[in-house]
Amino acid sequence: MNLVIISFYIVTALMTLGLLSILLFGVRSLVNGKVNIFTLVILCIPIVLLFGLGLVMGDWSRAGLLTIAIMLALAVFSLLATGIKGLFT
């Protein structure tokens, strides 16, 4: 086997384990009442956006790039909105 293929499988396995542990501890914190529901909804926006764009567009790499661009624009907008709000209050 090629070293690149082996590295790909190792990285994929590590990413999967990381995502599963984040999901497991997130559900545990939600059950224990340590997480606000609004925070959970905000954190799910990129995931929902990615899957929605991926299913509509059919090209997952372009959907990922468009998701990043949209989330960057939302972040800049929210920073500007909070800055303007802080300017007037």
pLDDT digits (tens, 9 = 90+) for 42-73: 888 998 999 999 999 999 999 999 999 999 99
Question: What pLDDT, on the 0 to 100 scale, is given for residue 75?
Answer: 93
Can you give the three-state secondary structure of the chain, one letter per residue? Answer: CCHHHHHHHHHHHHHHHHHHHHHHHHHHHHHHCCCCHHHHHHHHHHHHHHHHHHHHHCCHHHHHHHHHHHHHHHHHHHHHHHHHHHHHC
pLDDT at 89 over 90: no
pTM: 0.65
Are residues 65 and 49 in contact, defined by beta-carbon separation less than 8 angstroms?
no
Select from 75, 67, 23 the least CA-distant residue to 48. 67
pLDDT digits (tens, 9 = 90+) for 15-41: 999 989 988 988 888 888 888 888 878
